[in-house]
Chains A and B, each alone.
Chain A
Amino acid sequence: MKHLKHIAILLIILTTSIVGSQVQFQTRVSKKTLGLNERLRVDFSMDKDGDNFKPPSFDGFNVVGGPNQSVSNSWINGKRSFEKTFSYFLAPTRMGSLIIGSASIEIDKQTYKTNTIAITVTKEIQKPKDPNSAIASDNIHLVAEVSNVNPYLNEAITVVYKLYVARNTGVDNWRETDDPEYDDFWSQNINPKGLKIEKGKYKGEDYQYVVLRRTVLYPQKTGKLTIEPLKLDVTATIPTQRRDIFGQRLMSKVNVPVVAGKRNINVKPLPELGKPSDFSGAVGDFKFNLSTSKSELNANESMQAKVTVSGNGNLKLLTLPKLTLPNSLEVYEPEHNENVRTNLNGMQGEISDNYTIVPQYKGKYSIPTISFSYFDLKTETYKRISSNQTIINVLEGPVYGASDNNLITEGTEKQPVTLNNNQFAFIKTKPNFSSKNEQSFFNSKAFWASLLSPLLAIPLAIVFRRKRDQRAGDLVGNRLRKADRLAKKYLGVAKKSLGQKEAFYVALEKALHNYLKAKLNIETSDLSKDKIKVLLLDRQVNEGTVEDFESILENCEMARYTPITTVTMQQDYDKAASTINLIDKQIR
């Protein structure tokens, strides 16, 4: 029986241990009632490791932290205890009764679920304030001082951040929690070297202040721009109400967030009136210069042209005017130099573009004027500076446009003596003036006349030839004309001496004889009247004509000794002419 009792106890213990080895999975909350501004911790804990934990959907709460996982595993007196916890921090979003649903987990291929828990959310609970931090925030102020809240576009403004600290408060350290990003500004921070504590007034009270930071800003947009606040987390030492045994106030350390207020800046646009065409956004006070390293050089030597803008203004933001150069100069990409310091007044210094120029050909080249325009803040007007036109004179080298054969080869030892045609020619000395209004030959009357008149010669020639052919065909006319010619030929001398008796008749007689000699081919010595008659009759000349001829010859002889008038002479001449004609016609 006693044994039975022992066995029963053993069994009970065993079974309870079996029951105890059953899985526990439960939800615990830190509190069941909370204010709207409070937070709640929810733990889901299990005593055996599992998989696939699924949290509830936490309706009505925001998860502000978690899930955090913690595992504890301990052996106490040989007994192992294990706990795994998923914990969440929740912030209620509304008042009233909220329910945290059940989470689930899989342990040993079995799914376990937790119970649901109802939470009551009441309205906000007034938190007791920390008196120390309140005092600290009263004693520490961060101020952003803006030099000009109404600047022009691209005009430099400065923002100075000052940390004002009351006399009785100390500041150990600070940390920037929110660094302002200056959107729409070009900005540069100027951090002061070392902190200098200065005395100043804040709202009429004596304070100490430190300049934390200076920033130079160039607004890049017109209109209303905001400078985002700078947020600091300051560790301050402030006096407490408690005192030590010596009666000194005890100091306590407090972390205080400090914020410099937002600042609005109204950026004015640059005036449109009188804006130069080449204005590229330069605002400030500038000097502009174009300089060349040489004005005379040889081809293939290099020279520098430097475009410089110096002064005070948005130097890093402006573009330098480009140099346009003659096409026959070889120009390399300019080298950009910046020598700009930024201080509280903005950027100062100079920027320059350095062009390397290598002329290829002889001659003069002009570097044209280039101009630079900027907006002068003092006078609030646009100003333009132009460079002077400079001439580069290339003394030696090949001539542009000449063929490449003319390029002087370098490094030849012997210098061939060549005629240098590549010189700028001297003026001409012979003027050879002509009238400005001289008509061009083409289209002038003379042109058309000389072009077309030769063509007229062709029809003229045709007409001439027709006439000639006609004449050749007209036999009678031809004879007549021939006789006339004959008379002229033989009687020409006689006709000249008409009126002088002696000379006329000698000439006439000689003429008739000559005629007969020519016609009949006889010598002068043989020429008697009888022989003439016989010869003429032989050649079938009419007897009448022969007689006429004879009578003329007789007349010639007679006239020498008898007085004769001019009229008779004329008659004899005519008769001689007609007789010669007749003989010429009849003679065979």
Chain B
Amino acid sequence: MKNILYILLFFFGSLTAQNEKVFDQANALYNEGEFAEAIDRYEVILNTDKHSAALYFNIANAHYKLNHIAPSIYYYEKALALKPKDKDIKNNMAFANNMRIDAIENLPEVGLIRFVNKVTNSFSFNTWSKIAVVLVVFFVLFYLFYYFTHATGKKRFYFVSSVFSIVFACIALAITFYNYSGVKKLKPAIVFAQESQVKIEPNLRSDEAFMLHEGTKVQVLDTINSWKKIKLADGKTGWISSNDIKLLNIF
């Protein structure tokens, strides 16, 4: 049993080492300006089971340098999904977004919803779940202190602390679920076709609702045959051919 574990560890270790070697090679190619070759090397890593924000970021950069609009935005989105707070990714993504044609304004959020979204989106649901666990541990500790302490002043302090931590733990848990359900609902995709007609109905003979261009991010709501119902950030919906978009498949 132990032997097998060692073998597995060794195997994974060597695989990771190999990936890192390929990654370095690809970086060197990028630095020399051979972006297409660099992308090929990066994609070797993607074909293994590994990924990382840095990998997606580098692929996106290489695509940007080659003026591939949609792929670069696609990989920036992927990188951002893994590291939502990375400044480099955000910065370069702004560059890539400049190449886009469609101007889509986000629907403004107001009042309470804006506040709630701001709070819930400050961390990922994974981080929120960890916060909830830590708060539960605090609650238990404070409760035990309260339970075993006899001095009234301390007892009061521990009790109040424990109540606060359980309340916050519940809030954190609620936010986790809220955030998780929100993320689950999203199926973001990037328009890959240079120009795509978005139809009112999922068939070819229906009228055109609007036109989308390469690199625009959409949310997929529904699928019928080879048509996908999409929603833009400004709330417009329509049906687009599945071949024209590529799902981000973040989760």
Contact = CB atoms under 8 A, between A and B. Distances in A.
Given A368-B194, A368-B195, A450 B133 contact: yes
Interface string A331-371: 00000000000000000000000000000011111101100
A368 B51 contact: no
Nearest to A360: B98
A450 B133 CA distance: 6
Contacts of B61: 424-427
Interface in B98-122: 98-103
A314 to B, nearest CB: 26
A324 interface: yes
A432 B64 CA distance: 22
A389 B66 CA distance: 13
A260 interface: no
| Residue among A365, A369, A433, A440 facing the most chain B CB atoms (10 A cut-off) | A433
A399 B20 CA distance: 33
A132 to B, nearest CB: 70
B125 A430 contact: no
A440 B97 CA distance: 29
B243 interface: no
A389 B213 CA distance: 13
A326 B30 contact: no
A402 B176 CA distance: 31
Given A441-B126, A455-B136, A427 B144 contact: no
A543 B30 CA distance: 99
A452 to B, nearest CB: 8
B95 A364 contact: yes
B6 interface: no
Nearest to B173: A451
B176 A442 contact: yes
B85 to A, nearest CB: 14
B44 interface: no
A437 interface: yes
Interface stretch (B86-94, B149-157, B217-225, B226-234): B86-94
Contacts of A365: 98-99
Interface class of chain B by DSSP: helix
Contact of B98 (A361, A427, A429, A450): A361
Contacts of B64: 364, 424
Interface stretch (A141-149, A162-170, A212-220, A458-466): A458-466
Nearest to A452: B136
A391 B64 CA distance: 12
A82 interface: no
Nearest to B30: A427
Interface string B119-137: 0000001101110110011
B51 A366 contact: no
A372 to B, nearest CB: 14
Contact of B147 (A423, A424, A440, A461): A461
Nearest to B208: A277
A432 B54 contact: yes
Nearest to B140: A454
B99 A424 contact: no
A110 interface: no
Contact of A366 (B16, B91, B99): B99
Contacts of A325: 101
A421 interface: yes
B237 interface: no
B109 to A, nearest CB: 18
A425 B30 CA distance: 13
B180 interface: yes
Interface in A429-456: 429-437, 440-443, 447, 450-452, 454-455
Contacts of A458: 140, 143-144, 147
Given A364-B67, A461-B144, A442 B126 contact: yes
Contacts of B24: 429
A434 B148 CA distance: 44
Interface string A77-108: 00000000000000000000000000000000
A431 B23 contact: yes
B180 A442 contact: yes
Interface in B149-177: 173, 176
Contact of A451 (B51, B91, B136, B195): B136
A327 interface: yes
Contacts of A427: 27, 30-31, 54, 57-58, 61-62
Contacts of B98: 326, 328, 361, 363-365, 400
A433 B21 CA distance: 12
Contacts of B137: 454
B50 interface: yes
B73 interface: no
A431 B55 contact: yes
B99 A465 contact: no
A203 interface: no
Nearest to A456: B140
B241 interface: no
A432 B133 contact: no
Contacts of A19: none
A193 interface: no
Contacts of B58: 427-428
B51 A433 contact: yes
Contact of A428 (B19, B31, B57): B57
Given A424-B92, A431-B19, A455-B140, A447 B129 contact: yes
Contacts of B213: 324, 368
Contact of B49 (A327, A366, A432, A437): A437
Contacts of A455: 136, 140
Nearest to A324: B101
Contacts of A462: 147
A416 interface: no
A273 interface: no
B27 A442 contact: no
Given A368-B101, A428-B88, A451 B132 contact: yes
Nearest to A443: B180
Contacts of A369: 194
A444 to B, nearest CB: 9
A518 interface: no
Nearest to B91: A425
A441 B24 CA distance: 30
Contacts of B30: 427
B52 interface: yes
A421 B140 contact: no
Given A431-B19, A433-B52, 19 more contacts: A324-B213, A365-B98, A366-B99, A368-B195, A368-B214, A423-B91, A427-B57, A428-B88, A431-B45, A433-B50, A433-B51, A434-B51, A436-B49, A441-B129, A443-B180, A451-B133, A451-B136, A451-B173, A458-B144
Interface of A: 324-328, 361-366, 368-369, 389, 391, 399-402, 421-437, 440-443, 447, 450-452, 454-455, 457-458, 461-462, 465
6 contacts: A428-B58, A431-B45, A443-B129, A455-B140, A458-B147, A461-B148
Interface of B: 16, 19-20, 23-24, 27, 30-31, 45, 49-55, 57-58, 61-62, 64, 67, 69, 88, 91-92, 94-95, 97-103, 125-126, 128-130, 132-133, 136-137, 139-140, 143-144, 147-148, 173, 176, 180, 194-195, 213-214, 251
Complex A-B, nearest 6 residue pairs according to Cβ-Cβ distance, in ascending order: A327-B103, A363-B98, A428-B54, A442-B129, A425-B88, A433-B50
